[in-house]
Structure 1
Amino acid sequence: MIATQTMTDEQRKSVALEYLKAFDNGGVTSTGESILELFAPDAQVMFPKWGIANGREEIGQMFGEVGSKLKSIRHDYANFNWIFGGGDTIVAEGTSYGEHEDGPWRAGVPEWGAGRWCDVFEIRDFKIQRCFIYLDPDYAGADKARYPWLDGA
């Protein structure tokens, strides 16, 4: 689709924040809409160990499958690092905490554990066109056997 509305970095940031806050709120935005309304109809989202979801229907499936494993999640908004690349791309780096079905997590506890993440967004026309999520999806830190440096951790 051809871009029709000019956006500032701060406007892109506000869309990304709305997405992260909606994820923490069970997929509901501040206006009561589905998180999927923040995405362009043909958007792409990548989540580790799931792959790339194409379009709102697949994104909804992915969020449902990933979200069904989480009892709760909260992003630490005050500590985000925002990187503005010019154009439509912004990057958010941050931390989170919550509870996975296999147990709780908090960034930095332990230091090697889950909770640190980085999202690369492309946002045009006030819609997320692309969101690639980079994090360790082993929220409960149960995958120690495959990493010998974690032996005894």
Structure 2
Amino acid sequence: MALTRLTMTDEQRKSVALEYLKAYDHGGVTSTGGSILDLFADDAQVYFPKWGLANGKEEIGRMFGDLGGRGKAITHDYAGFNWIMTGGDMFACEGTSHGEHVDGPWRAGVPEWAAGRWCDVFEVRDWLIQRCFIYLDPDYAGKDTARYPWLNTK
């Protein structure tokens, strides 16, 4: 098998990341009816806070299953995304979201310190996500206030 490296534009890489985020919002189903896992390379890595690093599609699927079991619904706010494109395979997307978690609803900015703001760092090559590191506060319902005394004054 020959090693291929298809040259992609920033817009093409961004389109793969958007397809992933939209599939996440639709229960792991892509716009063509496929699995969200189809968007990942076989040896991809995904990091999620308080879960850790998932290596390969099998672990990524397990991670998404664990996360999906805690969330009832999520919507990413696409119109407000900030894309930080590097001209290479690696780039970042910053945005907000809202939805409902088993512990309650959330919306970015309500309250201002709560969950809903996130930043994903992607590596996309050959039309597949090679790496996606997700940075956010996984306390969607804002229940973890006892450990942060400043939250009790807001």
The TM tier, using the shorter chain, reads over 0.9
Matched, 1:106 2:112: no
Partner of 2:130: 129
Per the alignment, residue 73 of structure 2 pairs with 72
SS at match of 1:134: strand
Aligned-partner Cα distance in 1 for 2:130–2:32: 20
Aligned to 1:56: 57
Question: 1:41-84: CA deviations, max 9, x gaps?
Answer: 00000000000000000000000001110000000000000001
In 2: Cα distance, 1:39 partner to 1:67 partner: 18
Alignment of 1:138-149 (within 5 A): 138-149=139-150
Unaligned runs of 5+ in 1: none
Distance, in Å, in 2 between the alignment partners of 1:51 and 1:3 is 30
Is 2:72 aligned against 1:87?
Answer: no
- Which runs of 5 or more structure 2 residues have no equivalent in the other structure? none
Asked whether the equivalents of residues 3 and 124 of structure 1 are also in contact (C-alpha less than 8 Å), the reply is no
Matched AA of 2:147 = R
Show structure 1 runs of 4+ deviating over 4 A: none
TM-score, length-scaled by structure 1: 0.98
